[in-house]
Amino acid sequence: MSATLCSMACCITTAFDNIHFVEPLGYLDIIFFVKNAKKIITDSGGLHKEAFWLKIPSVVILRNTAWSETLTGNCNILASPDKDDIIEKVNNTVIDFSCYNHGYYGDGKTGEKIVDIISF
pLDDT tens-digit map of 38-48: 998 988 878 88
Beta bridge pairs of residue 92 = none
Distance, in Å, from the CA atom of 101 to the CA atom of 116, rounded to the nearest integer, reads 24
Query: What CATH class has 3-118?
Result: alpha beta
pLDDT in tens, 70-91: 888 888 899 999 889 998 999 9
C-alpha distances (whole Å) from 85 to each of 25, 31, 53, 119 are: 26, 26, 25, 53
Q: In sequence order, what are the residues at sequence separation of 6 or more whose Cβ sits closer than 8 angstroms to the Cβ of residue 40?
A: 34, 47, 48, 51, 56, 57, 58, 59
Mean pLDDT over each residue of the chain, to the nearest integer: 83
Full-model pTM: 0.72
